[in-house]
Structure 1
Amino acid sequence: MLIMGEVRTGLLQNSAEIEERDHQTVLGLLAGERVRMSRRPIVYAVSPDLLTGVDCRLPSASNARIRGVGTLVSRATITGGRILQGSSYVRVVRGEVNHRLPWSHYLARPGVVEVLGKVSAPDLAGGFLAFGPPGEQLDLGSVSDRFMDVVQESALLDLRAPFRSDRTRLRWVAETGEPGVHFILGESTGRTLRLTHHGEFSPAVVDLCEDLALHDWLLTALLTIVQRARIGGASRPEVSARLAPAVDTLLHLWMPGARIHPSLAPLWENLERTPGFSRQWQSLVERVRDQLAVNTLALLRETNG
């Protein structure tokens, strides 16, 4: 069995953090189902799971024509009242028969896509992680994007984000085996993740991938803000003004592994060693704070002089 998923991450289009009571409305994507929330160690809200039926070609590294039928599981989350994620995943299994069954069969197995015919897990994984051109094959990212767009259209949002940022895309595959993780930072906003874990698949694997996508986006956004500040090339007041959104919006959200199941914590620890997210984050945070401190001292000297 192969699990494939894609997480899109971006900034909630609102000038301030949304209040706790507003999460129920903003993430209320399914009538009659409540939004789940936690407040420690940071406010985190997740929409009800949403199912999308598919009958399409599956990705293949060898360009084989592989047909899959079933349902995807998707959800939207908001972290710290600021960061929005759309996440979709599917378990790919060999179908019991080589023809399509009634939809009632697939609806009874949420989050499972059955392959009609022969299938190779490495071929599927390689094709999915290749980020090929969009076409008629399974596109989990578009589904994740669609639910993010629905959230962003909420009447409670003022559509005035504190800074410009791009959505990042994390495609991941998971299999059972000797624990291991391999993360690749691709060109532009694309990233890929291969992981293996002990035991059967559980939603904790999805939590790990979403947490990685969240912190990768935070690191990317902070790096972009620092680059746009033009440290050394712009005046001190301009640099401070351009760095301010990082302090107001991002720095307090860095909590890697806070929601990871203990059984998967070693995988996150491997990512901290290579590529070392927290090392780069801490370096950028210190640079931001040093610049603000130096600029404040310079302003005080000018005022007292």
Structure 2
Amino acid sequence: MTAPPGTASAVLSCGEVLTCILPSQQPLDAESAAALLSLRTDERVLVSERPNLYALSPETLTGVDCALPTANGAKVRVVGTVAVRATLTEGRVLQTTAYFRAPADGPDRRRAWGHYLMRPGWVEPLGRLPEQEAADGILRGGRPGELDLGLIADGLLTQLLRHPLLDQAVPFKKSRRTRLRWAALSAPAGPGPSIQRFTLGEGDLRTIRLSVPDGTRPVAVAGLCEDFALHDWLLTTVVRLLDGRLGSVEAPTALTALRPAVEHLMHLWMPRARGDRTLSTLWDVLEQEPGFTRQWQSISQRIRDQLALLNTLAPRRVPTGETT
């Protein structure tokens, strides 16, 4: 979805990504994934099988006319449409994302809806947009009546989780959805993209504040943040699965802890598999602090060591006809 020619440049884009395990005992194949994410009849679901199975829904729009959260309490009314989409990775991990972009200022009065529908995923302020305060307000979360991207993303997630294709059999316990809120401010030409702040909030909330070159497509930032959210969810879920049980050498207990991680999650770790290459360098920041892949590799090695130990301690099976 692109805006018509003549649309002002966006100075701020914001979004929220929800990530969860698909309630299906078996992962969906490519055909079923496309059926699940078929949100519109006029656009097809994009499916890729390399380097892993990945399905991306077409975008839908949610109209908004409400106050925008701001860190300093400034009253800003915005009108427009929020873009919403969903992804499914390896038929197993479902994500929904709601996001928008906004210009530095807008008209003093609300325009006809036709104007906003011609600008998908575009939200205009009535007057000036305090972009820094708006970015921090979105990350902090608004009050009742203010724009809530998480609520919009949750609406699509709830719809998809009720799809008749799903048998509602969660493949393992100790899996909860996570939320990643993001805000990206446009920077003048010259500086490359940067992560200004990444935080692990209370519960399952994460926030990330970005600076991106002027002209960066919001859909590219959304894709990057979906990738961040996917791998944060994987790391969080595996840590929960193994919490306090990885050191046990008692076969039943250890295998109960290890099996879900090995069967369903370990093969999904693939940072930067997709997305805009101009933004992929931002992964380097998260690799240093908090160190996503370093922690994942450490956990993966412990799992391999545990499996090797269990194999060593397991009674040796004697083939039929052989004596010991």
Give the TM-score normalised by structure 1: 0.94
Question: Residues 166, 302 of structure 1: CA spacing in aligned structure 2 closer, same or farther, 3 A cutoff?
Answer: same
Q: Secondary structure of 2:165's partner?
A: coil
**AA paired with 1:60?**
T
- Counterpart of 1:245, as a letter, is P
Supply the distance in 1 between the matched residues of 2:158 and 2:307 (Cα, whole angstroms). 35
Shift of 1:161: 1.4
Give the corresponding residue for 1:285. Answer: 300
Which residues in structure 2 correspond to 1:48-59 (within 5 Å)? 48-59=58-69
Question: Of Structure 1 and Structure 2, which has the larger fraction of its residues in helix?
Answer: 1
Give the AA of the match of 2:215. E
Q: Structure 1 residue aligned with 2:86, among 71, 76, 86?
A: 76
Quote how far apart the aligned CAs of 1:236 are. 2.4
Q: Structure 2: state its 5+ residue gaps.
A: 1-10
1:140 partner amino acid: L
Deviations 1:8-34 (A, max 9, x none): 101011011111111121111122321
Q: Does 1:225 align with 2:213?
A: no
- Look up the match of 2:119: 109
Question: Are positions 1:157 and 2:171 aligned together?
Answer: no
Q: CA RMSD in A?
A: 1.8
Alpha-carbon shift at residue 118 of structure 1 (Å)? 2.8
Q: Distance in 2 between matches of 1:53 and 1:22?
A: 29
Question: d(CA) in 2 for partners of 1:237 and 1:126?
Answer: 48
What letter matches 2:16 in structure 1? Answer: E
Q: How does 1:115-126 map to 2 (within 5 A)?
A: 115-126=125-136
Instruction: Find the counterpart in structure 2 of residue 44 from structure 1.
Output: 54
1:137 counterpart residue number: 146
- The answer (yes or no) to whether the contact 1:2–1:173 under 8 Å persists in 2 is yes
Deviations 1:163-193 (A, max 9, x none): 1311111000112223211321112101111
- TM-superposed deviation, 1:291: 1.6
CA contact (8 A) 2:131 2:185 kept: no
Residue 149 of structure 1 deviates from its aligned partner by 1.4
Mean Cα deviation higher: 286-295 or 253-262: 286-295
Please, which moves more after superposition, 75-84 or 95-104?
95-104
Deviating above 4 A after TM superposition, structure 1's stretches of 4 or more consecutive aligned residues are: 301-305
Match of 1:20 in 2: 30
What is the match of residue 169 of structure 1? 179
Counterparts of 1:142-221 in structure 2 under 5 Å?
142-164=151-173, 165-177=175-187, 178=191, 179-181=193-195, 182-202=197-217, 203-221=219-237
**Residue type matched to 2:230 in 1?**
L
| SS of alignment partner, residue 10 of structure 1 | strand
Aligned pairs, number: 303
Task: Check conservation: 2:246, 2:257, Cα contact below 8 A.
Answer: no
Q: Which residue of 1 aligns with 2:7?
A: none
Q: Which runs of 5+ in 1 are unaligned?
A: none
Q: Percent identity?
A: 44
Cα distance in 1 between the residues matched to 2:250 and 2:210: 46
1:242 shift after superposition = 2.2
CA contact (8 A) 2:141 2:148 kept: no
**SS of equivalent to 1:63:** coil
Structure 1 residue 301 displacement after superposition: 5.5
TM-score normalised by L of structure 2: 0.89
Q: Following the alignment from structure 1 to structure 2, what is the Cα–Cα distance between the partners of residues 233 and 96?
A: 61
1:256 alignment partner, one of 249, 271, 278: 271
Report how far residue 66 of structure 1 moved: 1.1
Instruction: Measure, in 1, the Cα distance between the counterparts of 2:222 and 2:62.
Output: 17
8 Å Cα contact 1:240-1:291 kept in structure 2: no
> What is the one-letter code of the residue matched to 2:211?
T
Q: Partner letter of residue 182 of structure 2?
A: W
Q: Secondary structure at the match of 1:129?
A: helix
Deviations 1:264-295 (A, max 9, x none): 12111121111110000011111122222212
Residues 77-129 of structure 1 show CA distances to partners (whole Å, capped at 9, x for unaligned) of 00011000000110122454211111001101111111012321111011111
Match for 1:10: what amino acid? C
Q: 1:100 aligns with which of 107, 110, 118?
A: 110
Q: Could you tell me which residue of structure 1 aligns to residue 8 of structure 2?
A: none
Deviation at 1:232, TM superposition (A): 4.2
Structure label with greater radius of gyration: 2
Separation in 2 of the partners of 1:176 and 1:151?
A: 33
Taking a change above 3 Å as real, the CA distance of residues 94 and 265 of structure 1, as seen in their structure-2 partners, is: closer
For 1:148, give the aligned amino acid.
Answer: L
Name the residue aligned to 2:4. Answer: none
Q: 1:63 aligns with which of 58, 62, 73?
A: 73
